[in-house]
Amino acid sequence: MVLFIVFLYLVIVLFMGIRAGLNKENSIEEYVAASRSLNLFVMYFLMGGAIFSAFAFLGGPGWAYSKGAASFYILAYCAMGLVPWLIWGPRAYRMGHRYNYVTQAELISDRFESKTLSALMAIVSILAFIQYIALQLKGMAYVLNVTTDGLIPFWLGALIAYGVVLVYVLTSGVRGVAWTNVLQGLFMMIMAWTLGLWLPFKFHGGIAPMFKKIIESNPTHLLVGKPQMSWAAFSSAILVSVLGFTMWPHLFMKAYTTKSEKTLKQTITLYPTFAIFMVPVLFIGFAGIGVVSKESLQTADQILPIMLTKLGLPPVIMGLVAAATLAAAMSSSDTITHGAASVYTLDFHKKVINRNLTDRQAVVVTRIAVIVFCSVAYYIAVFGAKSLVALLLGAYGSIVQFFPLVAATFFWPRATKQGAILGLITGVIVNFYFSAVTTPPFEIHAGIWGLLANTIVLIIVSLLTSPHNEEHVMKFVIESQVPVD
């Protein structure tokens, strides 16, 4: 019965995803930006689904269970993540409307008059995207493996989810992503609140008694600080996540899909109502303390499915929970996969490999890229050992390096392409060094050290090199302030 419900859900999602793209124009603008036609209802779930993922349903509870109050960083950046977009979301929309941009790097490389910068941004984006897609596939595999008592092995669970997402992203582009996210968003919000309120009552008699038991058994678990996570690590994780939130190309690009600036602003305003569902998600993890032993878990990310198997729930309920977790993972993996392929085609392939790429050829290249990137992410998901939260924070460290470029595009005309290129390269290298080679100083997130080095190099090199044509750079400062609706 569990398998039946899961596969029924996958069939419904597949049908909806394919149906959304039928009888639509076969153009790159339609495939990447839905012909700039998405309304508030769809945008609300597209943004919410793009942000909340396997990390939310599995990584969030895993951190609440294993690291306690350190997981509150998730609530902090969810609350503040779209605040920077109030500043440049409408600006990006206006410039995209005027100059037909459909990716983040098209805007920035035009401002800095550099195809090299476009290619570099594409490379950084794709490497971060692959980590993020792997996060989703790993999460989906966990759920299918545990809820079926190992009947579906980890590799097959990831492969099944990979296949479904691949088909509707290939056929329908961002429109398929958007409409499936509506279904998935509604489903996972309902299940999050249901599980987040029910599990504490089932195991502890309520939310307050649950926290009282945690305090009695492990008083430091609900305090930020060591041994779970130092204040420096906690604060810098919030900062890198907030600054990097809308730097993700697949989120930034949504400024180009909306039908109007008003719709974009309404989406930003309403978004926190979607983010509230992370509160019950953390309750799920806290409910597992004292109920599930750490020795019974291969990783803390498994806490939700393991708890559910301990309850002896009817197969129908187990199937619905598994489907809801798949919804969370798929709602991000589809938009990220689509974003990665779009970035590759428009920001790298068209700039470096084939500058005369036709519109029809661009759609074909994008679809091929979808297959390639999903396959690489699948390999990482099956053979990689990192936790879901580690994968997420690692990806944020790279993507936050776009922050100085976006800020300079709209607010600092003196910035030059030499400064932008060298700053980006420096930031990425510093982030990689402190992520993969050595421990970052003072336990501050590697992405913050990269961002600091990036900004310093951008400023110094820009001041030492010749400025761009004033009329050209002021276009991005002035025209981005003028509404187009």
Q: Could you report the per-residue pLDDT of 143-199, keeping only the tens digit for each?
A: 777 767 777 887 787 787 777 777 777 676 667 766 677 777 777 778 888 888 888
Q: Does the residue 446 lie in any domain?
A: no
Amino acid 418: pLDDT? 95
Q: Does the residue 392 lie in any domain?
A: no
Q: Does the residue 469 lie in any domain?
A: no
C-beta separation of 39 from 254 below 8 A: no
Q: Does the residue 410 lie in any domain?
A: no
Show the DSSP H helices in 148-277 as ranges.
Answer: 154-204, 207-217, 231-245, 249-252, 261-275
Amino acid 253: pLDDT? 81
Residue 46 sits in a domain whose CATH number is 1.20.1730.10
Lowest mean pLDDT among 114-123, 320-329, 354-363: 320-329
Q: Where residue 108 falls among pLDDT bands split at 50, 70, 90?
A: very high
pLDDT at 233 over 90: no
Kindly state the tokens that stand for 328: 């969370």
Amino acid 25: pLDDT? 62
Residue 349 CA to residue 362 CA, distance in Å, equals 9
Amino acid 415: pLDDT? 95
Amino acid 416: pLDDT? 95
Q: Could you report the per-residue pLDDT of 257-281, keeping only the tens digit for each?
A: 787 888 888 888 887 777 777 888 8
pLDDT at 446 over 70: yes
Q: Could you report the per-residue pLDDT of 408-442, keeping only the tens digit for each?
A: 999 999 999 999 999 999 999 998 888 878 888 88
Residue 261 CA to residue 243 CA, distance in Å, equals 22
Q: Please name which of 368, 137, 393, 102 lies closest in space to residue 253, comparing C-alpha atoms.
A: 102
C-beta separation of 103 from 343 below 8 A: yes
Q: Does the residue 99 lie in any domain?
A: yes
Largest alpha-carbon pair distance within the chain?
Answer: 69
- Other Cβ atoms less than 10 A from the Cβ of 273: the count is 11
Q: Does the residue 172 lie in any domain?
A: yes
Q: Where residue 379 falls among pLDDT bands split at 50, 70, 90?
A: confident
Strand partners, 225: 229
pLDDT at 316 over 80: no
Strand partners, 38: 258
Q: Does the residue 396 lie in any domain?
A: no
Q: What residue numbers bound the domain in which 133 lies?
A: 2-387
Amino acid 168: pLDDT? 72
Residue 236 or 159, more confident = 236
pLDDT at 394 over 70: no
Amino acid 395: pLDDT? 65
Residue 1 CA to residue 318 CA, distance in Å, equals 9
What is the count of structural domains for the chain?
Answer: 1
pLDDT at 391 over 60: no
- At residue 28, the 3 state secondary structure works out as helix
- Other Cβ atoms less than 10 A from the Cβ of 266: the count is 16
Q: What angle do CA 89, 358, 257 make, to 5 degrees?
A: 20
Residue 59 CA to residue 139 CA, distance in Å, equals 8
Please state, in angstroms and as integers, the Cα–Cα distance from residue 40 to each residue in 47, 150, 178, 184, 244, following that order: 10, 41, 11, 16, 24
Dihedral of the CA atoms 390, 392, 394, 399 (nearest 10)? -170
**Helix and strand element counts for the chain (H, E):** 23, 0
Phi first, then psi, for residue 258 (nearest 5°) are -75, 150
Kindly state the tokens that stand for 27: 């153009």
Amino acid 413: pLDDT? 93
Amino acid 187: pLDDT? 77
Amino acid 274: pLDDT? 73
Please give the span between the terminal C-alpha atoms of the chain, in angstroms, as a whole number: 51
Q: Does the residue 460 lie in any domain?
A: no
